[in-house]
Structure 1
Amino acid sequence: MTELPADYRDYLQHARVQQRLSPRTLRLYTDGLQRLQALLADAAIDARALTLAQARRLAAQLHREGLAPKSIALQLSVWRSAYRWLGLQGRVALNPFDGLRAPKAPRPLPKALAVDDAVQLAAHAPGEAADARLEARDRALVELLYGAGLRAAELIGLDAQASGSAAGWVDLQAAEVHVLGKGGKRRSTPLGRAAAEALRGWLAVRGQLAAAGEPALFVGARGHRLAGSTLRAMLAARAVQAGMPAHVHPHMLRHSFASHLLQSSGDLRAVQELLGHAHITTTQVYTQLDHQHLARIYDAAHPRAKK
């Protein structure tokens, strides 16, 4: 690997001493400038005379080399930072990478369980050795995640009783869950029969675990509000016990709730309201999951789809 020019070496020295970047970050910056130097050498371009048009061609070259959008973004960030410093030092007249952005990465589809897997997980019951109180709690947690589509923070933020200070609560008589979602937006979600039954089972034993005066609906082994890490660990372990094919986290059950509702109803607006999405475009990602579901059915069932 060729030695970097003095300008780039001086910038890396500045990044190490003044910015105090970590050794790992410095390696990334060094690799990025090595790549830039190689591209400039191949194109016979003077690093100090680099123009905006030439910088765009360099970025396009990264794309042609097959770099992912995130990797291109990292390279451009390194180059932009280096030339910003060179500009402050008076070594270049402009920063050709200012305003230059990497291509947008395709938005990954949310991961949802198949209907049978979600039902199997919700219905899973561990052996007799399990603590009956914690099992009642965990069953209610899973049912509310999948049956009401709650976010993890909304779920553990629920209080046992409705009050002016409560972020959220469950009204069993009305079969509704009231939550405080993102952006301080309140919403109400119907509570299904299975979730209501599981919640009654938990409320019957909650007093045996909850500390005196603890307002939280769901509590940990020490009697205080359940932590998000405890929820995630419980769900991951329960999914393994239930024989799930993939790692399961709380948001996957929210995705499953939305995807399965949309498959059955086709009502995008209703799913948007139930999820508490401010914009319909956020909910539309689930239509892609629905199309994938339909495509699998077609491939499996239609005579002309078979090879």
Structure 2
Amino acid sequence: MTDDAALVQAYLNHVRVEKRLADRTVALYTLDLEKLSSQAREAGVALKAVQNPHIRRWVAQMHGAGRTARGIALILSGWRGFYVWLGRQGLIDHNPVQDVRAPKAGKPLPKALGVDEAVQLATHHEDADDPALEARDACITELLYGCGLRIGELVGLDVAASGSARGWIDAQDGEAHVLGKGSKRRSVPVGRQALTALAAWLAQRAAWAGEDPALFIGARGQRLTPQHIRVRLKRRSRLAGLATPVHPHMLRHSFASHVLQSSGDLRAVQELLGHASISTTQVYTRLDFQHLAQVYDAAHPRAGTRSGQAPEPLPKMVVPSAPPKPRPK
């Protein structure tokens, strides 16, 4: 076992000095290898003698103990790197972690606002001393929720179309032309409320305008960063009285979910979001079903059985007793 400790220390020195990994990463590797050494000691095997079945059994034990799939995957990554290094040193002829995968993690549903919450956020007006700031933030909210834009697409919008424009809004036709993932362009419709908010912002923008062609700028005339918009949106959601802090992608999820609930047209939602594959958009069918299930739970008189509640007992049936048999004479 002393040899095992020396091997672990040599590997940690390798990743710290030769690979120059961050101290935090080295600390995580240290914890992973301490767990590996502990498991090997309990099994009575040296680290160099660990086999594939050992690793699989330890993964099953971690999963049974409640460790998340992501946590197990990170541990396996640390173990795999250690055995790759042992192989390069000529100390083992096989990697016992090879082909071992963590349990499949379920994909969490995207977080979306309810329709009332989204409208509450969009219609919120601050009693601010700066009307330009309020007009800008209101327009940002309307475009994120009304068009389902990604934060990068929103930040890339310019005031007008030009040869270098990443995106722009054609107010006359009611369309936003954006540059999405993979440098793919798409056009999405802009609703009446968003166009009204855009006109209000453009009327105020002139007071801040500099040489930057960006649609959304700060008081110094420079294009807003995604982080700046996240901070402003989170603040707006708090002031609007929403229980959940809102981030830009949550409004994109809300847009997709609400359009799907109203239309049922998954292919149209795919086009509006700019998804290359329909499978990416299908997550909103799960979100839509979740919404329908909540409505059912709240409205149907017999929905209590879905929520883990015991069904009401059936009324006890009263069976009439048979008439007595005549006694033999």
TM range (shorter): over 0.9
The worse-fitting range, judged by mean Cα deviation, of 176-185 and 38-47 is 38-47
Q: Distance in 2 between matches of 1:30 and 1:188?
A: 50
Query: Which residue among 276, 290, 293 is the counterpart of 1:292?
Result: 290
Q: Distance in 1 between matches of 2:171 and 2:231?
A: 27
Pair 1:3–1:90, CA change in 2 (3 A): closer
The worse-fitting range, judged by mean Cα deviation, of 34-43 and 243-252 is 34-43
* Percent of residue pairs bearing the same amino acid type: 58
Once the two structures are superposed, the pairs formed by residues 202-213 of structure 1 within 5 Å of their partners are 202-211=201-210, 213=211
Amino acid at match of 2:190: L
Residue 50 (structure 2) pairs with residue 50 (structure 1): yes
SS, match of residue 187 in structure 2:
strand
Q: Distance in 1 between matches of 2:48 and 2:155?
A: 56
Once the two structures are superposed, the pairs formed by residues 1-307 of structure 1 within 5 Å of their partners are 5-127=5-127, 129-211=128-210, 213-306=211-304, 307=309
Structure with the larger RCO, 1 or 2 (CA within 8 Å, 6+ apart): 1
The worse-fitting range, judged by mean Cα deviation, of 243-252 and 221-230 is 221-230
Q: What is the aligned length?
A: 304
* 1:248-297 CA distance string (max 9 Å, x none): 11111111100111111111001110011110111111111111111111
TM-aligned CA deviation for residue 167 of structure 1: 1.1
Which residue of 1 is the match for residue 321 of structure 2?
Answer: none
Q: Distance in 1 between matches of 2:5 and 2:166?
A: 58
Q: Distance in 2 between matches of 1:10 and 1:73?
A: 23
TM-aligned CA deviation for residue 305 of structure 1: 1.0
Contact map agreement 1:110 1:255 (CA 8 A) in 2: yes
Q: Distance in 2 between matches of 1:35 and 1:121?
A: 48
SS, match of residue 169 in structure 2:
strand
TM-aligned CA deviation for residue 64 of structure 1: 2.2
Q: Distance in 2 between matches of 1:110 and 1:273?
A: 18
Amino acid at match of 1:48: K
Contact map agreement 2:159 2:215 (CA 8 A) in 1: yes
SS, match of residue 288 in structure 2:
helix
* 1:214-234 CA distance string (max 9 Å, x none): 211111110121221221111
TM-score w.r.t. the length of structure 1 is 0.94
* 1:84-137 CA distance string (max 9 Å, x none): 11111122121111232212321121111111010000000011x331111111
TM-aligned CA deviation for residue 3 of structure 1: 9.9
Contact map agreement 1:235 1:248 (CA 8 A) in 2: yes
* 1:50-71 CA distance string (max 9 Å, x none): 2223322232222222211111
SS, match of residue 177 in structure 1:
strand
The worse-fitting range, judged by mean Cα deviation, of 8-17 and 64-73 is 8-17
TM-aligned CA deviation for residue 138 of structure 1: 1.2
SS, match of residue 303 in structure 1:
coil
The worse-fitting range, judged by mean Cα deviation, of 138-147 and 37-46 is 37-46
SS, match of residue 54 in structure 1:
helix
Q: Distance in 2 between matches of 1:159 and 1:65?
A: 53
TM-aligned CA deviation for residue 4 of structure 1: 5.2
Larger radius of gyration: 2
Pair 1:21–1:164, CA change in 2 (3 A): closer
Q: Distance in 2 between matches of 1:218 and 1:26?
A: 42
* 1:127-180 CA distance string (max 9 Å, x none): 1x3311111111111100101111111111111111222111111111111111
Q: Distance in 2 between matches of 1:24 and 1:138?
A: 38
Q: Distance in 1 between matches of 2:194 and 2:201?
A: 11
Q: Which runs of 4+ in 1 moved over 4 A?
A: none
Contact map agreement 1:4 1:34 (CA 8 A) in 2: no
Unaligned runs of 5+ in 1: none
Contact map agreement 2:4 2:47 (CA 8 A) in 1: no
Amino acid at match of 1:302: H
Unaligned runs of 5+ in 2: 310-329
